[in-house]
Structure 1
Amino acid sequence: MAQTRRQFRQTIRQLRQQLSDEEQRQAAEQLIQQCQSLPEIAASQHIALYLANDGEIDTMPLISWLWQQGKQVYLPVLHPFSEGHLLFLHFDANTPMTANKFRIQEPKLDQTKVKPVNQLDLVFTPLVGFDSQGHRLGMGGGYYDRTFANWFATGIGPTPIGLAHNCQHVEQLPTENWDVPLPKIVTPQRIWQWELLN
């Protein structure tokens, strides 16, 4: 099972890394068009995203659009003391940035900018792959699984929505018994949505 998940991870990462600059640009624009119809965005003021890495769909155009809508945007920061956990810090055009241990840009840690997860309205999550049942395959670190443990258990807290390129969809992923599907995943071509039983 673990080997199969590794194989899926490697194959899908290669697919998205092979997208051209023009394909990436078009995907980012189409993603905004899809997100404009999301009722979750209209109902939310405090929205967490992430900065693209490793061929992920570029989120900066979406972030800029959210700023134009007057939304407050937050980015994940690796927790300095609690291994495997995330903090979310307010992000705007003037936020000082730094590279974390994965060489991903994140806001420089400032305790006054931290937003507790339960005070976020909506969290857009990265993923490596997803299937037709809403199962999400991450990078394997479990950061977002831990972040959403309470939501998955009780349905209380910010709504998680996945973002992905069209090529990151597969019909069925190998799953573990602790995997919990996402309620919604947005790609440039469509919005995938599932009714989840909490």
Structure 2
Amino acid sequence: MSAERMLKTELRKAALARRDALDPFWRVEASLEMAETGKAAIDFDPGTIVSGFWPMRSEVDVRPLMFALREKGARLCLPAILDRQTMVFRELVRGAPLVDMGFGTAGPGEEADVLDPSVMLVPLAAFDSRGHRIGYGAGYYDRAIARLQAKGMTPRLIGIAFDCQEVPVVPNEWHDVIIPELLTQSGMRQFL
């Protein structure tokens, strides 16, 4: 394992431990506050496809934000992992059944339409002041974003995290995707 990977592993572990230590009731309140901030800060045309995610463990609960964006006219989708390399985004339709997606998450089943998001709410384990992120280590988002870019798309990427997940510096690796915007309980931050 490279020195960069080893450092990322340590930074991820420490940031997730800080996030896990947050009071669960405080996390709920912070998630609701972030939904209000995000609703005001994220502009798009009606019908724009926005990907969110079903929260796992101590992640920010973006469901209130997703539903606020739906009220503004967004079409929502959630990630679905198809195999060890591929993640797609399936449309989240009101009233449609959700299925177990693994990792304690849920999402639309195979019958849901696969969509290409123009706005992506991106989960992360850690981030730095340059917009570099550390994911959970499997690279699903990096590959999904690269697939969209290969189609000629440039989705708006908005990282979602709590302030305590910030680290001094994320080591650079060639495949890393930089997140230009980040929403935390302190507000929306712009990096680029």
TM-score band by shorter chain is: 0.7 to 0.9
Distance 2:52 2:175 in 1: 24
Query: TM-score by structure 1 length?
Result: 0.85
Q: Is 1:26–2:29 an aligned residue pair?
A: yes
2:105 is matched with 104
* Change in CA separation of 1:113 and 1:53 when aligned onto 2, cut-off 3 Å: same
* Equivalent residue for 1:171, pick from 168, 173, 188: 168
- Match of 1:100, SS state, is strand
Deviation for aligned residue 1:193: 1.1
| Cα RMSD after superposing both structures | 2.1
Does the C-alpha gap of structure 1 residues 65 and 193 become closer, same or farther in structure 2, counting only changes over 3 Å? same
Conserved in 2, the CA contact under 8 Å of 1:28 and 1:61? yes
1:141 is matched with 138
Q: Is the 8 A contact 2:39 2:68 kept in 1?
A: no
Structure 2, unmatched stretches of 5+, are none
Residue 43 (structure 1) aligns with:
45
Counterpart-to-counterpart distance in 2, 1:24 and 1:125:
18
Aligned to 1:83: 84
Letter in 2 for 1:181: I
One-letter amino acid of the counterpart of residue 27, structure 1: A
- 2:158/2:179 contact within 8 Å kept: yes
* CA distances 1:94-122 after superposition (whole Å, capped 9, x unpaired): 12122234332222111x5221x2xx221
3-state SS of paired residue (1:88):
strand
Structure 1 stretches of 5 or more lacking a match?
Answer: none
Q: Distance in 2 between matches of 1:33 and 1:182?
A: 21
Kept after mapping to 1: 8 A contact 2:130/2:191: yes
Q: Is the 8 A contact 2:45 2:73 kept in 1?
A: no
For residues 89 and 154 of structure 1, the distance between their equivalents in structure 2, rounded to whole angstroms, comes to 17
Q: Is the 8 A contact 1:30 1:189 kept in 2?
A: no
- Structure 2 Cα separation of the partners of residues 151 and 181 of structure 1: 15
1:158-190 deviation per Cα after TM superposition (whole angstroms, max 9, x unaligned): 222111111111221222233231111111102
**TM-score between the two structures when normalised by the length of structure 2:** 0.87
Deviations 1:27-49 (A, max 9, x none): 112212221332x4333621110
Identify the residue that residue 95 of structure 1 maps to in structure 2. 96
Distance 1:194 1:150, change over 3 A: farther
Residue 151 (structure 1) shift: 5.9
Cα separation, 1, equivalents of 2:92 and 2:149? 26
Q: How much does 1:136 deviate?
A: 0.6
Partners of 1:134 and 1:182 within 8 A in 2: yes
State how far apart, in whole Å, the 2-side matches of 1:51 and 1:130 are: 20
